């Protein structure tokens, strides 16, 4: 083989080698990145599972405390109220004992009401028995008894049943929103609208407050330790829902919660 042939072949081989090196570098880096992305996805999945486990544990504990309060302490207070009622005919008149007993009975009533409110807030029994729409309605009635803000509940559509986990998380989100409105918005009226289509559950929470909810949410996003908004976002993330805040007209804030495919697999089939 002549030297010139060697050069031609060698040059071509070198060119091929150069191209192969470049292609290998590109391929290798793409493989490394896709591997890292797979690991990242697994991490996210693990974090999601942990979050679900934490929230489920939290709900179970809330349910247990709510049941204990309702069944044990609530029952005992009812017995106390009955006993107080039984004492009434035995009292002597003239020294104001009857009035004091009446006051004590009324105070016991207040305690029973508050206990029901706490128990209901901790775990809404209506959610398990009657579904999300009724639980929200019941929550509104309960809030109307205890607070200055008037909360109205409107239902549009036929109120199709919601998957239990999604219903519980959506309920908690609405609860958190109402808490935020009470804390920051200085609203006198809140309207909760519940709407369902076969594939989409939409709940709007509109208040007539100062619109401070939007700024408070923007601040919360910047703060590392803001639990309320994180709680809302985490819960919606778990159930595949989303929330959107818009300023209301002429004032206030409108929060729109959307949950797609909200019905359980069994209900769908």
Partner 1 sequence: MTGIELLVLIPFLLNYKSLDKASKCIFFYIISSLVFAGGSTLVLHLMGNNMWFFSLMHFVQFVILSTLYWYCIHNETMRTIIKYMPVLILGIFIFDFFWVEGFRAFNSISSGVKHLVLLVYGLYFFLQMLRDRNLIERAIYIDSLPVFWYNSGIFIFSCTEFLFCISYNHLQTLQSTGLTKIGMTMAILSINYIVGMISMILLYIGFSKIKKLKHANY
In whole angstroms, the minimum distance from the beta carbon of 48 to partner 1 comes to: 20
Segment lying near partner 1 (by CB under 8 A), choices 18-26, 46-54, 157-165, 246-254: 18-26
Binding residue for partner 1 (CB under 8 A) from 1, 4, 110, 224?
Answer: 4
Q: Which residues contact 117 (CB under 8 A, 6 or more apart)?
A: 142, 145, 146
In whole angstroms, the minimum distance from the beta carbon of 45 to partner 1 comes to: 17
By C-alpha distance, which of 122, 200, 198, 128 is closest to 167? 128
Neighbours of 235 (CB within 10 A): 22
In whole angstroms, the minimum distance from the beta carbon of 70 to partner 1 comes to: 51
Which tokens belong to 238? 């778990």
User: Is beta strand 241-247 parallel, antiparallel or unpaired with respect to 253-260?
Assistant: antiparallel
Site size with partner 1, rule: CB under 8 A? 25
Which tokens belong to 218? 């923007």
130 lies in the site for partner 1, by CB under 8 A? no
Q: What are phi and psi of 157, to 5 degrees?
A: 90, -175
Q: Would you say 8 or 53 has its CB closer to partner 1?
A: 8
Query: Which residues in 20-39 contact partner 1 (CB under 8 A)?
Result: 21-22, 25-26, 28-30, 32-33, 36-37
Q: Would you say 43 or 219 has its CB closer to partner 1?
A: 43
What is the C-alpha radius of gyration for the chain, rounded to an integer number of angstroms? 30
* DSSP-based three-state secondary structure for 247: strand
**Residues that bind partner 1 in the complex, under the rule CB under 8 A:** 2-5, 7-8, 10-12, 14-15, 17-19, 21-22, 25-26, 28-30, 32-33, 36-37
């Amino acid at each position: 083989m002549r030297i010139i042939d060697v050069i031609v072949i060698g040059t071509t081989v070198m060119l091929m080698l150069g191209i192969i090196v470049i292609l290998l570098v590109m391929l290798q880096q793409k493989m490394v990145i896709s591997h890292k992305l797979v690991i990242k996805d697994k991490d996210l999945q693990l974090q999601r599972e942990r979050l679900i486990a934490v929230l489920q544990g939290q709900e179970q504990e809330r349910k247990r405390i709510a049941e204990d309060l309702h069944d044990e302490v609530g029952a005992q207070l009812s017995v106390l109220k009955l006993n107080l009622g039984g004492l009434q005919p035995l009292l002597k008149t003239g020294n104001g004992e009857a009035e004091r007993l009446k006051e004590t009975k009324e105070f016991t009533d207040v305690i029973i009401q508050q206990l029901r409110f706490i128990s209901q807030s901790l775990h809404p029994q209506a959610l398990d028995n009657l579904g999300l729409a009724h639980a929200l309605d019941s929550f509104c009635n309960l809030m109307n008894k205890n607070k200055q803000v008037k909360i109205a509940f409107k239902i549009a559509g036929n109120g199709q049943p919601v998957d239990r986990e999604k219903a519980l998380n959506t309920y908690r989100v609405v609860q958190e929103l109402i808490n935020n409105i009470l804390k920051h918005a200085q609203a006198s009226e809140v309207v909760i609208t519940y709407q369902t289509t076969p594939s989409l559950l939409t709940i709007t929470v509109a208040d007539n407050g100062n619109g401070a909810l939007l700024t408070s949410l923007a601040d919360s996003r910047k703060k590392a330790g803001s639990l309320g908004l994180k709680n809302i976002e985490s819960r919606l993330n778990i159930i595949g829902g989303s929330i959107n805040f818009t300023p209301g007209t002429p004032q206030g804030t409108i929060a729109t919660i959307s949950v797609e495919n909200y019905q359980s697999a069994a209900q769908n089939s």
